[in-house]
Structure 1
Amino acid sequence: MDSCCQTADEKPATLNKCPVCHQKGRSVQLITLKALLQPTALGTIHPESSYVFCSNSSCEVVYFSDMQTYDKDTLKVSVFQKDDELDVPVCYCFGWTRKGIIQAIQENQQPTDHIREQVQANRCGCEVNNPQGACCLGNVTTFIRNLDKS
């Protein structure tokens, strides 16, 4: 399995803008959908299609292709970009929630150091754990940066 924090060879998406919010999305591997869709939704995927992740927080769509969409209610996990609760993971592989990151920062710890160590040790599985199908470190860094601004 390729490292989750490296760009994988993906099928080019035939549709790269969400059909609901019209925001440009990011291609995801089929393995991400297979790992994170609920069984009823999993039974409707078209393996030959290319899927795209919609990160727009105000849009209900998480994945889309030229044939279908999957809303956040069809996933097994809450989606960081679409759910602002404190217990939602920012880092899905190592269990860093917003609440856990806030607590760690207050205790002068650096969650990004822990995550980087785990990634370097080839322990991450973002392609099957993170709904965006890619490394979460950017999300964690941005979340921490935004904490510093508040």
Structure 2
Amino acid sequence: MESCCQTPTEKPTTLNQCPVCHQKGKNIQLITLKAMLKPTSLETIQPELSYSFCSNSSCEVVYYSGLQTYDKDALKVSVFQKDDSMDVSVCYCFGWTRERLINAVQEKQLPTEHIREQVQANRCGCEVNNPQGACCLGNVSTFIRNLDKS
């Protein structure tokens, strides 16, 4: 029998699939959810629950926990993965939109180096600026790589 102060040897498994599209999501911190939701939606979160981010571009859901979901309209910002407009941020901390990235690449600039320098200087705030609650460098690199293919 385990005491209440011992940590369990096995973590309970949780199904981490979006209830709408059934794609596997990524866990996010509560601080991200609190930073991203509009006030009316913020009033409905259940802080004791774990929330996940759905990156499926064809799904309206951005965050979910069990049956509770928050769609794009519940957020203060547009979500890169869910909005294909040119003025949506790819890097939320330093203002790199699709359009700005395209212009920088055409001018032979290195946006990823700029972002990396800022991250190394401890200037990013991805957990409160980026809806996915994580560093954007992967999204930026993929976007630029896809530009090179076209």
Please indicate, yes or no, whether the TM-score normalized by the shorter chain is above 0.5.
Answer: yes
List structure 1 segments (4+ residues) > 2 angstroms apart after TM superposition: 12-15
Aligned length, in residue pairs: 140
| 1:14 to partner: Cα distance | 3.4
SS at match of 2:45: coil
Q: Which amino acid aligns with 2:33?
A: L
> 1:17, 1:23 within 8 Å by CA — same for their partners in 2?
yes
Q: Flag the structure with more relative contact order, 1 or 2, with Cα contacts below 8 A and sequence separation at least 6.
A: 1
Find the counterpart in structure 2 of residue 132 from structure 1.
Answer: 132
| 1:62 to partner: Cα distance | 0.1
Specify every segment of 5 or more residues in structure 1 that has no aligned partner in the other structure, as ranges.
Answer: 1-11
Deviations 1:48-89 (A, max 9, x none): 000000000000000000140000100000000000000000
Find the counterpart in structure 1 of residue 58 from structure 2.
Answer: 58
1:46-125 correspondence to structure 2 within 5 Å: 46-125=46-125
Find the counterpart in structure 1 of residue 19 from structure 2.
Answer: 19
Deviations 1:11-50 (A, max 9, x none): x883400000000000000000100100000000000000
Among all aligned residue pairs of Structure 1 and Structure 2, give the percentage whose two residues are the same amino acid: 80
Higher alpha-carbon Rg: 2
SS at match of 2:27: strand
Specify every segment of 5 or more residues in structure 2 that has no aligned partner in the other structure, as ranges.
Answer: 1-11
Give RMSD over aligned pairs. Answer: 1.4
Once residues 127 and 45 of structure 2 are traced to their aligned partners in structure 1, the CA distance between those partners, rounded to angstroms, is 17
